[in-house]
Amino acid sequence: MHRFVRPLALTVLAMCCGAALAAAPADQVPHGTLPRWAVPESYQLSFKVDPKQQDYSGTTTIKVDLKQAADHLWLDGRDLNVSKVTITDASGHAHDGKYVAVAPNEGVSRIDFGSTLKPQPLTLAIEYTAPLNQQLQGLYKVSHAGVPYAMTQMEPISARYAFPGFDEPGFKTPYDISLTIPSDVTAVANTKQISETAAGAGWKTLTFAKTQPLPTYLVAFAVGPWDIVNGPDIAPDDYRTEVLPLRGIAAHGEGHRMQHVLSETPSIIHTLENYYGFGYPFGKLDLLAAPDFSAGAMENPGLVTFRDWLLLLDPDSPAKYVRGSFNVTAHELAHQWTGDTVTLAWWNDIWLNEAFATWMQQKVTMKVHPEYRADLDRISGAEGAMHNDSLTSARQIRQPITGNGDIETAFDGITYQKGAAVLGMFEGYVGEDTFQKGMRAYIQAHKFGNATADDLVGAIATAANQGPTFKHAFNSFLNQSGVPYVQTRLEQKGGKTILHLSQDRYLPVGSTGDANRVWGIPVCVRYATGDGTKQSCELLDKPTGTMVLADASTPTWVMPNANARGYYRFNLSKQEWADLTQHVAALSDTEQLAYADSIDAGFRHGDLNAGDAMAALKPLTGVTTREVVVAPLETIKWIYRNEAVTDAQQTNVVAWVKDAYMPRMEQLGYQRKPGEADGDSLLRSTLASALALDFKLPEVRAALLKQGDAALAKKADGHLNLTAADPDLLGVALAVAVQERGEPALDALIAELPQTTDPALRNAMLDGLSATDTPALADKARDFSLSKQVKVGEMAAILRGNHDTSAARDALWHWFTGHYDQVVARTGSFAGGRLPALAGGGGCSKAEADRLQAYFEPRLKDVTGADRGLAQTREQTLLCAALKAKQDPSKI
Ligand SMILES: [Zn+2]
């Protein structure tokens, strides 16, 4: 990276203040954090925005505490056309300054004062214009049913596109926001509106109440002809004396579909307030359904924004949307405490926001909707993260930030799911009540300020009366990557039953990593004795350890991860595996998930062949818990895709699948039954998708094709009859129809998508568009993904299809490299980390890894975060190839 030292303005310095101020900073362009000698204390943000136009204007006024003599200061601003800078000093004297975009690709800018100023409070007023962003960042433009809206998404470092400022989480200040907008539209922001005044012909100015101290990334507002609907007021409780008003904000015509989520919200807020012992502090709460959005949702205090399909629900909405809506709402509202009230000090601690919101969301869901089984979600989520965490290129939970790419790629499964699992593990270790005590103290100590990992770990350790060993154990999961691999071995010695434990890093076949790594793992085992089961726990913080079991006789079986509370995988001797498999029905459903994961881990580690893995997983498919029933699917899909080469092998795998799942599929049928449990609807949709699309079972495809054909038939009004299919199965039915009917089906979807605003129907059509299985049709769908008819946030859904066979991946590769610039132009730099997986995900040969490397290497410097995406996709491709080479095809 190009760095330079800025020459001192010596003459000005001499004129101004003499030798005493010769300390004016001879600093370099800050590429990480901004220097702390100029600190913002408050902002006034004024915007003039008409969503119909391409640009907007703004004036940002910042009170800054200049802590040392300087002739300039550093701040962030990107793609801003600054016309005027006014600096007012402590005595009230105002003069012009200059705005210089020093590192435009990072958004680092400098304000030159024109002379050296002594330390004092300053007021900067910066007037500028900027384009309404087209890539869902900063202040961006979207449209719904052809009508434009403007809204914001600042996290992590996109506030600098919307206004100049100190765009780092460590700077928290109050904001006063005012919006001048066309008279015929409305606007919302973080806080309540406090005034409306006329602002010339056709314009009005809305002013909003001063915010609590916030970092730049939590500032939010939205302008357009929004529907605003009232939800139920949230009553005061032990921790909040004022009524909390609740509203839903949606694009025009969609507001009535917010009632379901609004009705769920009060119980979420009360649960969080009771847990933290701290009332919701942001005065009002609006939930906004965004017509287009880069993430899933964003926790802006007072104005939480979501992808529209998470909020716009009907009585017949797919079950996964209804559950997803609750889970994501609980996650975003949990952030109002961890993230918004207490904010990370710097991006290396983004887990303090995201791991906690994920962990807390699961707690809320367990309380309000226990039937959603958020405890199982946490385990499945952690096991998903373990796949990524087994890569040598995996991030740590606390990953040092070496550039903006590390900030952009920090929002991954390691931060969210691994983070939540690690919290759950140490919560289990100290006890839930003790952990809560620590959390309450942490929120009180850092409210409206910032915190680091040490603050959090310290608060929990204090509450639990724990010392350095505990902190060291906790930190061992935060500050190093990888999944611990715990091996157990039973021994009878001196009349006692001893369980020998050892740990190293789990690394799959083909990995070049070093397995020699030690964590402080709270290991809990459950084992069967003559009179039921018992549990025994130990903090394993050395490479090896032992546990003396309470029972003198050898247990019938040992489950090395009791209740699946530990973030680790386990391995057993052949005999102990056999014992456990034989008694797998005696395990809790949480433990059955850990069992499934460790079988998969053993397969990918080379300890089990495909036939062994299939046999060991089979008993799980007969249990009652949905999450356990489907847990083996990913392993079986891998075997089917990559190992079952001959017809006979394919037949064997398909026979396993049919035997395991067809009875359940037939029992569920292909239509939702009146009043059925939503878990049944979810199981129907998971099984239908796997059986029809992955394993191509003709009878399932035929049933879905019938629904797909019915959905593609035109109604009298010329629209497709999309509601003719079961709502949970519409996406997979359209996918089968596209594969069976070919181009006419694809064309029908391409024609219908632009005429459909319903987000659930749009998503189902995207499923259909991504399911093409010939190169020509796939190219047609991909070309369509680049058109304006497909929203920016929808494009990847089409490109993610077609990765299953090497022929399909070759065709995708050809198209992708031919359209690379257009893809990047649409997504912007924010999605850079995901580009390599979009181009080469699912690869399973060295040739694919090599072409990915050769193509992206020279492009890395232009796309933030792509380097980590490349390293991980490449490594996954090589690992898949190594596992494939290791297989003995006779063992299926
Ligand atoms: Zn979050």
Question: Would you put residue 606 in left (φ > 0), alpha (ψ -120 to 50) or beta?
Answer: left
CA dist 597 and 45 (Å) reads 50
332 is catalytic: yes
Kindly state whether residues 684 and 789 are assigned to the same domain. yes
Compute the distance from residue 413 Cα to the ligand 1 centre, in Å.
12
366 lies in some domain: yes
Active-site annotation holder among 332, 383, 752, 875 = 332
- Tell me: do 470 and 586 sit in the same domain: no
Contacts of 450 (CB under 8 A, 6+ apart): 169, 170, 172, 342, 343, 344, 345
Contacts for 336-340 with beta carbons within 8 Å, 24 or more apart? 336/272, 336/280, 336/281, 336/282, 336/299, 336/301, 337/272, 337/276, 337/278, 337/443, 338/443, 339/218, 339/299, 340/214, 340/218, 340/282, 340/299, 340/300, 340/301
Query: 582 and 708: one domain?
Result: no
The backbone torsions φ and ψ at residue 229, rounded to the nearest 5 degrees and listed phi first, read: -120, 145
pLDDT of the residue at 22: 38
Distance of CA 357 from the midpoint of ligand 1 (Å): 6
Single residue among 317, 334, 351 that ends a domain in this structure: 334
Q: What is the pLDDT of residue 3?
A: 29
Same domain as 819, residue 678: yes
At 597, the amino acid letter reads: D
Q: Residue 610 is part of a domain; what is its CATH number? A: 2.60.40.1910
How high is the mean pLDDT in each 10-residue block of the chain (892 residues)?
A: 31 34 65 94 98 98 98 97 98 97 94 97 98 95 96 97 98 98 98 98 98 98 98 97 98 97 98 98 98 93 97 94 97 98 96 96 97 96 97 96 88 95 97 98 98 97 98 98 97 93 98 97 95 94 95 91 98 93 96 98 94 96 96 96 84 96 98 95 98 97 98 96 97 98 98 95 97 94 96 92 90 96 82 90 96 96 90 97 88 74
Residue 147 CA to ligand 1 center (angstroms) comes to: 29
* Residue 632 within any structural domain of the chain: no
CATH number at residue 468: 1.10.390.10
- Encoded tokens for 414: 């390691």
Residues 737 and 675 in one domain: yes
Is residue 590 packed enough to be buried (19+ CB in 10 Å), middle (13-18) or exposed (0-12)?
buried
Number of domains in the chain: 4
Give the CA count within 13 Å in the CB-facing half-sphere of 186. Answer: 11
Q: Which pLDDT value is given to residue 633? A: 98
Is residue 765 classed exposed, middle or buried when 0-12, 13-18 and 19+ CB atoms within 10 A define those classes?
Answer: buried
What's the CA-to-centroid distance between 250 and ligand 1, angstroms? Answer: 21
Q: What is the pLDDT of residue 26?
A: 65
Same domain membership, residue 265 and residue 366: no
Question: Is 6 within the bounds of a domain?
Answer: no
Say what the pTM is: 0.94
Which residues line the annotated binding site?
A: 331, 335, 354
pLDDT digits (tens, 9 = 90+) for 433-484: 999 999 999 999 999 999 999 999 999 999 999 999 999 999 999 999 999 9
Q: Which of 278, 308, 334 is the last residue of a domain?
A: 334
Would 22 be classed as within a structural domain?
no
> Which CATH number fits the domain that encloses residue 739?
1.25.50.20
- Pairing state of beta strands 38-48 and 175-182? parallel
Q: What are the pLDDT digits (tens) for 271-281?
A: 999 999 999 99
CATH, residue 249: 2.60.40.1730
| One domain for residues 609 and 657 | no
Tell me whether residue 829 is in a domain: yes
Which residue segment(s) compose the domain that 722 sits in? 637-891
- Based on the fold, state whether residues 385 and 305 are members of the same structural domain: no
Q: Name the H helices within 390-452.
A: 404-408, 413, 419-430, 432-446
660 falls within a domain: yes
| 241-264 burial: b if 16+ Cβ within 10 Å, else e | eeebebbbbbbeebbebbebbbeb
Tell me the CA–centroid distance for residue 775 and ligand 1, in Å.
37
70 part of a folded domain: yes
Sequence ranges of the binding site for Zn(2+)? 331, 335, 354
Domain end among 588, 617, 646 = 617
Q: In angstroms, what is the span from residue 300 Cα to ligand 1's centroid?
A: 10
Both tokens of 538, joined, read: 């130990």
Per-residue DSSP letters for 803-867?
-SSHHHHHHHHHHHHHSHHHHHHHH-GGGGGGHHHHHHTT--SHHHHHHHHHHHGGGGGGSTTHH
Q: Are residues 363 and 329 in the same domain?
A: no
- For 273, what's the count of Cα atoms within 13 Å in the CB-facing half-sphere? 19
- Token look-up 């809560």 returns 436
19 found inside a domain: no
Cα–Cα distance for residue pair 218/234, rounded to 1 Å: 23
Q: Quick one: 54 and 68 in the same domain?
A: yes
Asked if 469 and 526 sit in the same domain, the reply is no
In Å, what is the CA distance from 271 to each residue of 287, 364, 594? Answer: 18, 6, 29
Are 147 and 168 spatial neighbours (Cβ–Cβ below 8 Å)?
Answer: no
The predicted structure's pLDDT at residue 648: 87
Collapsing DSSP states into helix, strand and coil, what is residue 547? strand
- Secondary structure (DSSP) of 309-370: GGT---TT--HHHHHHHHHHHHHHHHTTTBTTTEEESSGGGHHHHHHHHHHHHHHHHHHH-G
| 373 shares its domain with 311 | no
